Amino acid sequence: MRIAHFSDPHVNLKYHPQHLPRLRRALEDALDRMKADHIIITGDLTSNGDARDLRTIRRLFESLGIMKSSKLTVVVGNHDIYGGPHLAEEVLSFPERCRTTRYDEKLAIFQDAFAELFADTITMTPQGYPFLKRVGKVCLLGFNSIATHSYIQNPVGSNGTILKEARDQAADLAEHQAWKSANTRVALLHHHMFRNRDIEHLDIADGLSASGLAGKIEQRTLKLHGKRQILKLFRQIGVTMALHGHVHFTGQYERHGISFLNGAGAVFPAFRSAGYYYNMIEVSAKGGLEFMPVKLEKKEIRSLQLDNTPAIVGE
């Protein structure tokens, strides 16, 4: 079975019109050329959580025949809840916007937009996270890692956490047969698990420098609080691999014997000169696991930027 992993397409028809065709190009590459059986997108599907963008992404998925649980899995990202500042004048007012965001409402809108993809998940909460989903012999464990607003811990919505309650629920879900009998167990979350001091050891796509990336991350508040407890949970329940995004590059690293893949470089990479990549994961019938970054040709991306996909833009 082949799984393609993407993250952070940040679709936004108003400020990032090129992201929708880039996402389409990337998904088509995974489905048609690389023959992916299943697609995973780990959050920030939208840049601003706008209903119009959610509808447009749905239509893209429908047009590709992947708007079904067996073909596609998504988890929510911070931009899907809080949005982001897209104009210079929005930067100052953005913390106030985060403070007044109705978190539960925004999460429900996201979940509703992709309801079919959650239809056969196993979960204990009405919000839908954490959830288990079985795809062949692979079992996915999806988390909502988006922290609620806090002046100190999460002033601009970009920091994450997985609260103890959710970690306990995940531990309970791991008792389920769907998880226990799987030959590959994959955790999905939006936030990354590397520390800034690990950056030099990340295996990152060609053309990226670790120091340039460190600087980029340093400028922002992009933390996941409680990484140690999350890692402990992952080890305890036998997570084989974890997929995430949030920081916009493609790369892989290992922590405590678990492979982590960052898949946020296919549509909106931090360094465009490095190229556009996504992750392809191949799981053999016996549970053997191989993964590699797949590069999208620059030429094709450029030609698609001229295409504003009129058939799926609207409303």
Binding site for Fe ion (CB under 5 A): 44, 77-78, 246
Task: Give whichever of 222 and 280 is closer to Fe ion, judged by the CB atom.
Answer: 222
Strands (E) across the chain are located at 2-6, 38-42, 72-75, 122-123, 131-135, 138-142, 160-161, 184-188, 203-204, 224-225, 241-244, 250-255, 258-263, 276-283, 289-296
- Closest approach of Cβ 267 to Fe ion, in Å? 13
Please say which residue, 225 or 246, places its beta carbon nearer to Fe ion.
246
Pairing of strands 184-188, 138-142: parallel
Q: In terms of CB distance, is 15 or 235 closer to Fe ion?
A: 15
DSSP code of residue 1: -
Give me the least distance between CB of 248 and Fe ion, in Å please. Answer: 8
By CB atoms closer than 10 A (0-12, 13-18, 19+), residue 306 is exposed
Least separation in angstroms between CB 108 and Fe ion: 19
Residue 91 — φ and ψ, nearest 5°? -60, -45
**Which amino acid belongs to residue 258?**
I
Residue whose CB is less far from Fe ion, 220 or 256 = 220
Lookup: tokens for 298: 């620059």
Give whichever of 69 and 144 is closer to Fe ion, judged by the CB atom: 144
Contact between 143 and 74 under an 8 Å Cβ cutoff? The reply is no
Beta carbon of residue 262, minimum distance to Fe ion (angstroms, whole number): 11
Q: Which of 296, 267, 302 is nearest to 20 (CA)?
A: 267
Least Cβ distance, residue 261 to Fe ion (angstroms): 16
The CB-of-145 to Fe ion minimum distance in angstroms stands at 9
Residue pair 129/75 in contact by the 8 Å Cβ criterion: yes
Which residue, 149 or 246, is less far from Fe ion as judged by CB? 246
Question: Least separation, in Å, of the C-beta of 8 and Fe ion?
Answer: 6
As beta bridge partners, residue 291 has 281
Q: Which residue is nearest to Fe ion (CB)?
A: 246
Which tokens in the block code for residue 204? 């990152």
Using the minimum distance from each CB to Fe ion, give the nearer residue, 48 or 240: 48
Please name the residues in contact with 106: beta carbons below 8 A apart, sequence gap of 6 or more.
49, 80, 81, 82
